[in-house]
Structure 1
Amino acid sequence: LGPCESFGELSLLTDHPRAARVRAKTAIRCLAIARHDFDRLLGAEPQLAIAMLRELATRLVQFTTH
């Protein structure tokens, strides 16, 4: 992953456990967010919700075509 990228967001949108694991190669800053806070954030920031939908759609296309 690179700067401003995310992982584990599917578990915030579903009731399924997180399937992703990551390990940092260098020092990082990482944000963990609870589901209820994530829901409130998406409600307050529609542009963020749209950006996440686009990212998830892109990943779905990549997953199903490769």
Structure 2
Amino acid sequence: MQQGCDGDATAPEPSPTTQRFLTVAARSRRRACAGHAAEEQPEGGRQAMNNIIYIVGLVVVVLAILSFLGLR
């Protein structure tokens, strides 16, 4: 920690990598807070993604059952 002009401790200057990370994180936070993430994906796209996740889950469960029974 460095001493400021009036005697209180100040944080050191962040590195360029840290500044870039903080900028990207702030941009992501602003987008999420503004609701852009929900607007970018239409309802049909969300439904398709849910269907894909559901099918993959079913396949995993079926393979686990077959493996448990020794049929795989």
Q: Shorter-chain TM-score: which interval?
A: 0.3 to 0.5
Query: 1 or 2, which has the higher helix percentage?
Result: 2
TM-score under structure 2 length normalisation: 0.34
Q: State the structure with more CA Rg.
A: 2
TM-score under structure 1 length normalisation: 0.36
Query: 1 or 2, which has the higher strand percentage?
Result: 2
